[in-house]
Chain A
Amino acid sequence: MTWLGVFSQLLEIVAALLLAPLLSGWINQWRAWLQNRSAPGLLQPYRMLHKLFNKESVIAEHASPLFRGAPYIVFGCMALASAIIPTLSTDLPLSPAADAIALVGLFALARVFISLAAMDVGTSFGTLGARREMLIGFLAEPALLMVLFSASLISKSTSLTTIVETLAHRDLGIHPSLALAGVAFTMVSLAENARVPVDNPATHLELTMIHEALILEYSGRHLALLEWAASLKLFAYSCIGLALFFPWGVAEAEAPLALLLAMPALILKLAIGGAMLALLETLSAKMRIFRVPEYLATAFLLAVIGMLVHILLAA
């Protein structure tokens, strides 16, 4: 563990916490532009968070401590997740504590807690949201794992830093398995982040909402934490995508100066990715909830085929 490592680790956490709401704002802006609406300011999510933190928190009279603790746990999970994904540097002291499998486990932990918290108050929408969230989770989680495994097979490692280093250093090699994994990953991350074909982040229409139904009973600082955690999750997923499919520009232990370049590179990549996401969302229509398993099963099987293709071509 070097001082530089500690520094880049801290830098990465701070960058994630600060950039995540910005990314959400950026995507919202693009969505508005693409849909011919006048866009909210880029800093709107920060204003939202500030407003929510200032408000008092109103919770149901019979809510248990689990309900109050869950936002902090979810936030903690997402913060840790964005700390272990190599976005700026691969020299991260925290990274050996959790590899790709543990990262998926971390997302699952957050999902279980938010679902349990949604069930805690015992409203009809809460349990509905919990059930749908777990429905998406049980298909999306293995699909994400398979996507990460496709990369693991190439780099012969599940450690995220090793994956990024290997992928960034390949000499003009093209891995067909990553093409399949990329499509699968895009599908999964849309579902996991409550994006359009699966869920609509802007809706409060009772019967179609998933993410909003989960956090329906939250207000004030708890809601702020959950919203922040949601944008952190989107940020983390974007970073996984960038790390797997566009791993250039990430600094490594031997090259400390690259850290200076890594930040603009990351922001540029995120900006393009965010615009693409908004485009994708605008182009597609939300599907029925019972089409979602089909959609996710397709993603899951595409990722599996990606691994098979890798084995076929490697043989």
Chain B
Amino acid sequence: MITRWLPAAAQWLQIDWVLLVVGAWLLIGVAGVLALRRLTLVARVLFPLGGAFGLALAGIALSAALSSPEVAVLPIGLPGLPFHFRLDSLSAFFLIVIGSVSAGVSAFAAGYFRKGEGTPPGLLAFEYHLFLASMALVVVADDAYAFMVMWETMALSSFFLVTANHRIVEIQRAGYLYLLIAHIGAISILLCFGVLQANTGDYTFANMRAQQLSPFWASLAFLLALVGFGAKAGILPLHVWLPEAHPAAPSPVSALMSGVMLKTAIYGVLRVFFDLLDTPLWWWGLLLLVVGLATALFGVVFAAVQVDMKRLLAYSSIENIGLLFAAIGLAVLFSAYGMQPMAALALTAVLYHVAGHAFFKSLLFVGTGAVLHATGERNLGKLGGLIRTMPWVAWAMLVGVLASAGLPPLAGFVSEWLLLQSFLFSPALPSAFLNMLIPVVAALIALIAALAGYTMVKFFGIIFLGQPREEKLALARDASGWERIGMAWLVCGCVLLGLFPVQFIALIDPVTRSLIGAGMADTVAAGGWLLVPVAIERASYGPAIFLLGVAASFALAFVLVRTLYHGRLRRAAPWDCGYPWQNARMQDTAEGFGQPIRQIFEPFFRMERELPTPFDTEPRYRVSVGDHFWHWLYLPLARAVERLASAIGLLQQGRIAVYLLYSFATLIAVLVVVKQ
């Protein structure tokens, strides 16, 4: 590598450019530390610069996605253990996502951070860019050592970002929980790599790829990877940290964590399942499907009843991760039965959703940031009517909400469509039992998607529509310039991903080809402007034509009504069935809007209700919705750990003589063992 610094820049490989961008991010971070408290410098120069490098990274990765893999070795770290890096199409795809989404988020962050956020702005900039750099290096790491170092750096830097407001007790707790589960996951991943290298002592991914594991060891590696990456992604039952940590972080960081960091876990899953392990077994797919669907249903049902806007989005992220895992499960299932074209379809849906979710979830999170700064409220019950005071944010969020609800013609719908298509093709599976599960699974996915729509209507309607529920909301100010730029960029992502799936699938094609040896580009390219997964008589979808159709009807209706009739309009007080004393408190609250879901999915929740009686002078209604997993799994676990710790604590006597005795006894025991 060092020797390669010398030749002219023209001869640099793409991976060198990627490492250069990462280096630039680190430098920006260092600059932040030097300019610790100079907010203007940090916000107006460093963050936009970071965003620009994000764009550069996306551009480099875009060209790398279509070329052959490249490797690089960095002689840093322990002697004899250099960092291996490799830039193949899978890494490039995730780099595109990381780069392009972080560009928008960084631009937003430039206008977002203010004084008095706890951590000084310079330090935040350092942590933020370190976080970006580590995510980029995770997806290009090519040995277990580099991967783990970057993975831990990512976890730690995001931990410090989560606890930016470290004086608030809840945030401390959230950070602690996050770190704990992140480490359980990391241990699991480490063990997984240990199994994958199959006693050769060589921890490079190239060696792992070459190993042929027996079904037992392969399944063990699979399970370890599922737990490890699942902990980072937030699958059931390792999800508890996510709704605590994501809302606790400053909004741009929440956006990165939900939009991008969760995707590194998906990257890890894809890397291990499809690249490092050879042929998968069918029951892995089934397990992934079940876990994924359970997670998705759980996430969306909980999202529908949340009253805190950022928690709602965090649960919605759990839902999306669940869908991704289910889709990966389907891909594994197909590839286990050797049905590569179907597997490619499912995998394309996964990757499309990775990109789509990255854009729309980041957009929604930064939008909540703008609302939070303008109003100081995160509670949905105290917001309302912001579309009139914050039109920019509201309209940008509307796009994100529609994309997130999986509505055509935006980004979320394309992946949902591809996923449902791959389910419809599944009755060709050789196992009758699996064939019968498929309709049920497809039904569940449809249900989850529809529930996401419910959740998103609640989210948008309660924050931005209606009448303001508090007086101070009338003073809310719209997003600033940089914030608007960032949001506009993310909006563009949602719209373009929705309208031009054919062009984007050309980028995904090399990934699926390298992972499972089949791709969709040929059939898709034959469709022209239409997205055609297999053949045009089987299924096709043309979002651009679709949009054009709706827009044309819209315009025609508008013009015809104006010309044939008139455009007279009068504004008056709302009608509301003639009730004149209408006020803002009579609208549905967040609790009210979620009530049907609370009732229908009652077994999902652990509810505590406080109902008023007719005799209360000040009637109060309170309902809190808890998570069964917390009470059934985590609290007993925590108590067990505590008991174990106090048992071990008995060993601790505080007297030197006792400690010496322990050492002595150990020595004797070891000697006895050695003798035998």
Mostly, the B contact residues are: helix
Mostly, the A contact residues are: helix
Q: Is B457 interfacial (CB-CB < 8 Å)?
A: yes
Q: Is A245 interfacial (CB-CB < 8 Å)?
A: no
A122 touches B436 (CB 8 A): no
Interface residues of A in 94-130 (CB under 8 A from B): 94, 96-99, 101-102, 105-106, 108-109, 111-112, 115-116, 119-128, 130
Chain B 363-382 against A: per-residue CB contact (8 Å), 1 yes, 0 no? 00000000000000000000
Q: Is B621 interfacial (CB-CB < 8 Å)?
A: no
A-side interface residues, number (CB < 8 Å): 84
Q: In the complex, which residues of chain B have a beta carbon less than 8 angstroms from the beta carbon of A191?
A: none
In the complex, what's the smallest C-beta–C-beta distance from A140 to chain B, in angstroms? 8
Q: In the complex, which residues of chain A have a beta carbon less than 8 angstroms from the beta carbon of B599?
A: 290
Chain A 118-154 against B: per-residue CB contact (8 Å), 1 yes, 0 no? 0111111111101110110111011001100100110
Q: In the complex, which residues of chain A have a beta carbon less than 8 angstroms from the beta carbon of B574?
A: 60-61, 121-123, 217
Q: In the complex, which residues of chain A have a beta carbon less than 8 angstroms from the beta carbon of B552?
A: 76
Chain A 75-108 against B: per-residue CB contact (8 Å), 1 yes, 0 no? 1110110010000000000101111011001101
Q: Is B557 interfacial (CB-CB < 8 Å)?
A: yes
A57 touches B593 (CB 8 A): no
- C-alpha gap A212/B105 in the complex (Å): 42
Q: Is B561 interfacial (CB-CB < 8 Å)?
A: yes
B557 touches A138 (CB 8 A): no
A134 touches B453 (CB 8 A): yes
Output the nearest chain A residue to B589 by Cβ-Cβ distance: A127
- C-alpha gap A79/B545 in the complex (Å): 14
Q: In the complex, which residues of chain A have a beta carbon less than 8 angstroms from the beta carbon of B456?
A: 112
Contact residue among B447, B546, B570, B586 (Cβ-Cβ distance under 8 Å from A102) = B546
Q: In the complex, which residues of chain A have a beta carbon less than 8 angstroms from the beta carbon of B543?
A: 97
- C-alpha gap A82/B424 in the complex (Å): 24
Q: Is A35 interfacial (CB-CB < 8 Å)?
A: no
Contact residue among B439, B466, B566 (Cβ-Cβ distance under 8 Å from A121) = B466
- C-alpha gap A225/B481 in the complex (Å): 37
Flag the segment in A167-175, A249-257, A307-315 that touches B: A307-315
A99 touches B435 (CB 8 A): no
Flag the segment in B13-21, B90-98, B214-222, B413-421 that touches A: B413-421
A307 touches B457 (CB 8 A): no
- C-alpha gap A116/B387 in the complex (Å): 12
Q: Is A195 interfacial (CB-CB < 8 Å)?
A: no
B587 touches A123 (CB 8 A): yes
Contact residue among A53, A73, A112, A290 (Cβ-Cβ distance under 8 Å from B550) = A73
Q: In the complex, which residues of chain B have a beta carbon less than 8 angstroms from the beta carbon of A234?
A: none
- C-alpha gap A307/B446 in the complex (Å): 14
B572 touches A60 (CB 8 A): yes
Contact residue among A122, A125, A304 (Cβ-Cβ distance under 8 Å from B384) = A122
Chain B 445-459 against A: per-residue CB contact (8 Å), 1 yes, 0 no? 011011101101110
Q: In the complex, which residues of chain A have a beta carbon less than 8 angstroms from the beta carbon of B596?
A: 131-132, 135, 293
Given contacts A112-B457, A131-B593, contact A307 B466 (CB under 8 A): no
Q: In the complex, which residues of chain A have a beta carbon less than 8 angstroms from the beta carbon of B432?
A: 311, 315
Q: Is B513 interfacial (CB-CB < 8 Å)?
A: no
Q: In the complex, which residues of chain A have a beta carbon less than 8 angstroms from the beta carbon of B568?
A: 56-57, 220
- C-alpha gap A146/B420 in the complex (Å): 11
- C-alpha gap A94/B569 in the complex (Å): 35
Closest 4 CB pairs of A and B: A122-B466, A142-B446, A76-B553, A122-B467
A311 touches B439 (CB 8 A): yes
- C-alpha gap A217/B466 in the complex (Å): 12
A308 touches B436 (CB 8 A): yes
Q: In the complex, which residues of chain B have a beta carbon less than 8 angstroms from the beta carbon of A124?
A: 576, 579, 582, 586-588
In the complex, what's the smallest C-beta–C-beta distance from A233 to chain B, in angstroms? 14
Given contacts A138-B451, A290-B599, A315-B435, contact A130 B572 (CB under 8 A): no
